[in-house]
């Protein structure tokens, strides 16, 4: 328990081992079985390796019907003591975060665990000074800079609930999220650098705050020196606040800021994600289970060895950044590379430069990034030393075999295991993945479930699929039978929505929204969403959300959005739009609609194609037949499915003719 654990006592971090690291296929099988047979004993033993102020009363209490899920309830802790304080004695000088700026000419910043401790304590004090209390919601809208990590962890230190919003979302999206979370505080920057662009974050926040009555304070960090407006009484400068806090938390070179004692089941953060209907949902993760899950999956899937340099290329605005840039690696005492920019700036060799520069051992990225970099050919790889790499990972979307092999041959040089980690915002961390070099990889298959994860394939009636298809595979909708520590607990402010979205489709099962195949060896291959959610460049976008945005444009009568296969992004967004006056200037109308979608959601949701149509294929009851539109968007001209039930079958032919 607590400070007496093996982890804390180690003097040399390189010699430090994780007692729950799985090191062989046999052990995986044994641990998996045990996690299913005796989940409380299994996870209780793993949780012993963390720093608790008080031990939990019960490891697990759950039912999926409400749902009620409690892990380590009654346990008292602070996650930042686990991510920072407990490493200080033995690895205070070890880099926690290595920050690579957008502009390679700019200076790298190395944040040691001691420095991270100081900055997080200081920022926690800033939050207190500005009136933030335990349980308050703090929205964070920043670029990928170390201050973002200080802000996130500063919230966690005082028990405030952070809600990070990705820099690509619009003012309207932010306003919706602020309202839903009833947030009272914002941490932002004047601007953010992303490739050749400079995103005016503060000015977007100002737009989001027009008419807002809940936000009390906006803390602004200077990154781009873009001129911004600062509202008296509401907006304060990060630098001034930090300077003031410094004298409060540091005396005689000793930094002290007590971490707030939290219950394992207190919320840690809200992260908004798209669903098949309406507005994004605020997925809520709680402290204890999320900590154990991100740490356990980080160590086991990547086979992290103390001393390894881990580079996850995701943005902290998404769950991958939360779990595998911050909480997972830091709780394991790892060194995490944080990159401000994009893979193609200033050129398509940027990732390879970073790997070479910091001798990165683990690279974790999205198939979209791999496909995009592949398209530049071999030139960007010339003279880049990638020999430090030991493990490669992918996440966010299915990886096609071609990209898998390219990754294997040209990046891993055929000596690095590739892990294909399948998971979701709601799952907190990886659920299905091979363990690097420990369990077998299979190109484009996520393979085996992590200990604690019990997948099940069901048909549309919720019956378990047991009959293999002609290829010997089971095929169905992917559900999970029992909770793992990192599962979401609720959707913020609306528990019923959580129930209906995830736990009501099939009785007593968590429904993922994904379809999957299972081979005879028990490996899973995720085939993609089976609901109306698109996965564009590894980002989730609801078709209903995009339609709502398009429909807001003047002149649009109705629209239907579907996904289609896109060589780089995995899926592209195809919109069929009925517009009252396209005869004016089609191209201009299209641009106007792009602009509307960018305003309402953000540039990430901009359709790739807009086809103007005079009608949509609808049933007599008025339901749009998306499966027909999906076929058309994929280029099918003949077999678009049964159209006899349509109100006006003629419309299909017209749409096929006008296909872009």
- Judged by the rule CB under 6 A, the positions of this chain that interact with ligand PRX are 273, 319-320, 395-398, 420-425, 446, 512-514, 526, 528-529, 535, 540
Taking the least distance from each CB to ligand PRX, the nearer of 286 and 424 is 424
Taking the least distance from each CB to ligand PRX, the nearer of 486 and 607 is 486
For residue 370, the minimal CB distance to ligand PRX (Å) is: 12
| Residues ≥6 apart with Cβ < 8 Å to 426 | 273, 283, 487, 488, 502
The number of beta carbons lying within 10 Å of the beta carbon of residue 131 is 11
For residue 421, the minimal CB distance to ligand PRX (Å) is: 5
Taking the least distance from each CB to ligand PRX, the nearer of 201 and 319 is 319
Alpha-carbon gap, residue 135 to 138, rounded angstroms: 9
Taking the least distance from each CB to ligand PRX, the nearer of 238 and 422 is 422
For residue 43, the minimal CB distance to ligand PRX (Å) is: 21
3-state helix/strand/coil string of 291-331: HHHHHHHHHHHCCCCCCCEEEECCCCCCHHHHHHHHHHHHH
Taking the least distance from each CB to ligand PRX, the nearer of 206 and 420 is 420
Comparing every residue's Cβ against ligand PRX, the nearest one is 425
Alpha-carbon gap, residue 430 to 433, rounded angstroms: 7
Taking the least distance from each CB to ligand PRX, the nearer of 118 and 529 is 529
Q: Strand pairing partners for 8?
A: none
Omega prior to 346 cis, within 30 of 0: yes
Burial annotation 420-450 (CB, 10 A radius, 16+ → b, else e):
bbbbbbbbbbbbbbbbbebbebbbbbbbbbb
For residue 336, the minimal CB distance to ligand PRX (Å) is: 17
Taking the least distance from each CB to ligand PRX, the nearer of 69 and 395 is 395
Q: In this structure, what token pair is assigned to residue 303?
A: 């086979």
> CA torsion sign, 492 to 494 to 498 to 501?
negative
Taking the least distance from each CB to ligand PRX, the nearer of 83 and 418 is 418
CB 590 within 8 A of CB 573: no
Give backbone dihedrals phi and psi of 246, rounded to 5 degrees, phi first: -55, -45
Q: Which residue, 410, 411, 406, is CA-closest to 444?
A: 406
Taking the least distance from each CB to ligand PRX, the nearer of 297 and 344 is 297
For residue 71, the minimal CB distance to ligand PRX (Å) is: 20
Rounded to 5°, the CA angle 318-322-326 comes to 145
Question: Would you give the end-to-end CA distance of the chain in angstroms?
Answer: 62
Taking the least distance from each CB to ligand PRX, the nearer of 522 and 649 is 522
Taking the least distance from each CB to ligand PRX, the nearer of 200 and 476 is 476
Q: Please report the DSSP string for 409-453 in residue order.
A: IIISTT-S-EEEEB--GGGSS-SB---TTTS--BTTB-BSBPTT-
Residue with tokens 């990972």, as numbered in its chain: 393
Q: Residue 305: how many CA atoms within 13 Å on its side-chain side?
A: 10
For residue 283, the minimal CB distance to ligand PRX (Å) is: 8
For residue 526, the minimal CB distance to ligand PRX (Å) is: 4
Alpha-carbon gap, residue 83 to 96, rounded angstroms: 10
| Residues ≥6 apart with Cβ < 8 Å to 412 | 389, 392, 418
Alpha-carbon gap, residue 115 to 119, rounded angstroms: 6
Q: Which residue, 169, 394, 139, 201, is CA-closest to 274?
A: 169
Taking the least distance from each CB to ligand PRX, the nearer of 273 and 300 is 273
For residue 569, the minimal CB distance to ligand PRX (Å) is: 13
Alpha-carbon gap, residue 56 to 59, rounded angstroms: 7
Taking the least distance from each CB to ligand PRX, the nearer of 16 and 314 is 314
For residue 467, the minimal CB distance to ligand PRX (Å) is: 24
For residue 362, the minimal CB distance to ligand PRX (Å) is: 16
For residue 565, the minimal CB distance to ligand PRX (Å) is: 14
For residue 171, the minimal CB distance to ligand PRX (Å) is: 22
Give the Å distances, CA to CA, from 354 to 98, 102, 574: 11, 11, 35
Alpha-carbon gap, residue 291 to 134, rounded angstroms: 18
Omega prior to 342 cis, within 30 of 0: no
For residue 450, the minimal CB distance to ligand PRX (Å) is: 13
């Amino acid at each position: 328990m607590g400070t007496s654990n093996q982890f804390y006592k180690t003097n040399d971090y390189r010699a430090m081992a994780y007692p729950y690291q799985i090191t062989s296929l046999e052990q995986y099988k044994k641990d998996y079985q045990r996690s299913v047979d005796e989940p409380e004993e299994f996870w209780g033993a793993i949780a012993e390796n963390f720093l608790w102020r008080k031990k939990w009363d019960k490891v697990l209490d759950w039912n999926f019907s409400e749902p009620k899920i409690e892990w380590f309830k009654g346990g008292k802790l602070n996650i930042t003591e686990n991510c920072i304080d407990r490493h200080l004695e033995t690895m205070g000088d070890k880099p926690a975060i290595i920050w690579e700026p957008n502009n390679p000419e700019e200076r790298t910043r190395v944040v040691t665990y001691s420095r991270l401790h100081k900055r997080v304590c200081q920022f926690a004090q800033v939050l207190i000074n500005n009136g933030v209390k335990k349980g308050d919601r703090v929205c964070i809208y920043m670029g990928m800079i170390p201050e973002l990590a200080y802000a996130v962890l500063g919230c966690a230190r005082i028990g405030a609930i952070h809600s990070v919003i990705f820099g690509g979302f619009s003012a309207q999206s932010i306003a919706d999220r602020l309202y839903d979370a009833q947030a009272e505080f914002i941490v932002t920057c004047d601007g953010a650098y992303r490739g050749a662009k400079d995103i005016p974050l503060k000015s977007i926040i100002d737009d989001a705050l027009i008419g807002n009555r809940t936000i009390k304070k906006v803390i602004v960090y200077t990154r781009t020196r873009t001129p911004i407006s600062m509202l008296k009484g509401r907006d304060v400068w990060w630098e001034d606040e930090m300077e003031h806090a410094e004298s409060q938390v540091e005396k005689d070179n000793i930094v002290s800021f007590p971490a707030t004692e939290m219950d394992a089941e207190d919320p840690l953060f809200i992260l908004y994600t798209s669903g098949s209907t309406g507005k994004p949902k605020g997925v809520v993760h709680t402290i204890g289970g999320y900590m154990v899950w991100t740490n356990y999956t980080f160590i086991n899937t990547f086979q992290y060895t103390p001393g390894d340099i881990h580079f996850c290329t995701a943005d902290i605005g998404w769950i991958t950044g939360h779990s595998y840039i911050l909480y997972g690696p830091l709780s394991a005492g790892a060194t995490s590379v944080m990159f401000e920019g994009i893979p193609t700036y200033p050129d398509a060799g940027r990732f390879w430069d970073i790997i070479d520069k910091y001798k990165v051992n683990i690279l974790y990225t999205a198939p979209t990034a791999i496909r995009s970099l592949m398209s530049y050919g071999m030139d960007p790889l010339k003279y880049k030393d990638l020999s430090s790499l030991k493990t490669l990972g992918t996440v966010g979307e299915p990886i096609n075999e071609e990209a898998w092999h390219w990754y294997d041959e040209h990046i891993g040089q055929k000596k690095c295991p590739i892990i294909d980690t399948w998971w979701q915002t709601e799952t907190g961390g990886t659920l299905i993945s091979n363990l690097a070099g420990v369990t077998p990889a299979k190109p484009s298959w996520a393979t085996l479930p992590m200990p604690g994860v019990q997948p099940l394939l069901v048909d549309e009636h919720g019956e378990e699929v047991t009959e293999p298809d002609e290829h010997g595979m089971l095929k169905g909708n992917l559900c999970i039978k029992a909770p793992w520590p990192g599962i979401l607990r609720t959707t913020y402010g609306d528990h019923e929505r959580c129930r209906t979205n995830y736990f009501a489709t099939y009785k007593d099962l968590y429904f993922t929204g994904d379809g999957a195949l299972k081979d005879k060896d028990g490996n899973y291959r995720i085939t993609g969403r089976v609901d109306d959610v698109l996965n564009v460049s590894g980002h989730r976008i609801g078709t209903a959300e995009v339609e709502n945005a398009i429909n807001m444009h003047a002149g649009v009568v109705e629209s239907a959005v579907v996904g289609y296969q896109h060589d780089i992004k995995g899926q592209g967004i195809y919109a069929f739009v009925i517009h009252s006056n396209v005869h004016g200037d089609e191209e201009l109308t299209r641009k106007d609609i792009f602009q509307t979608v960018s305003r309402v959601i953000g540039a990430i949701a901009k359709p790739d194609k807009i086809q103007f149509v005079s009608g949509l294929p609808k049933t007599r009851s008025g339901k749009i037949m998306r499966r027909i539109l999906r076929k058309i968007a994929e280029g099918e001209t003949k077999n678009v499915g049964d159209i006899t039930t349509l109100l006006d079958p003629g419309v299909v032919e017209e749409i096929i003719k006008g296909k872009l």
